[in-house]
Amino acid sequence: MPKNKGGGKNKRRGKREGKSTQKRELILKEENQEYARVEKLLGNGRLEGKCYDGKTRMCIIRGKFIKRVWIKQGDIVLLGLREFQDDKADVIHKYGPDEARILKAKGELPDYAKVGTGDKAEEEEDCGFDFEDI
């Protein structure tokens, strides 16, 4: 019997979905939408986001984003607010670091918003040790 070196009948049919290098149009917030910073990933397609209106909301990642758009702590996202539940929202869009800088320059994000820092800046601030004394 011949050996199967290829791996099945669909061996040559691979998923060809690479990163697109072209710039996409910047999506701005509309009515019943708010910008937020990801505070904590809760798992199961959920996260905790700190909105720039001062509220912390539990956000649900859309099924379209799961395994396609990777969201991490410190990212800026656009949330769709729910009229019937103020403490929950849906993630509509994730902004990259360069898009977030453009939003801040346009005045869409407040001045105190941390853009493009990610987890590293928080780790340095939260450190309880004073290394200068050692």
Q: What is the CATH number of the domain that holds 89?
A: 2.40.50.140
CA–CA dist 89, 52 (Å, integer): 13
Least confident segment among 20-34, 66-80, 101-115, 119-133: 119-133
CB half-sphere exposure, 106, CA atoms < 13 A: 11
Tell whether 99 is covered by a domain: yes
Give bridge partners of residue 88 from the DSSP assignment. 58
Tell whether 91 is covered by a domain: yes
The DSSP result for 28-82, as a single string, is PP-TTEEEEEEEEEEETTEEEEEETTS-EEEEEE-TTTTTTS---TT-EEEEEE-
The percent of residues above 90 in pLDDT, for the chain, comes to 53
Tell whether 57 is covered by a domain: yes
Structural domain that includes position 37: 33-106
Length of the chain as a residue count: 134
Tell whether 79 is covered by a domain: yes
Tell whether 71 is covered by a domain: yes
Least confident segment among 54-63, 87-96, 106-115, 116-125: 116-125
Tell whether 101 is covered by a domain: yes
pTM over 0.75: no
Number of domains present in the structure of the chain: 1
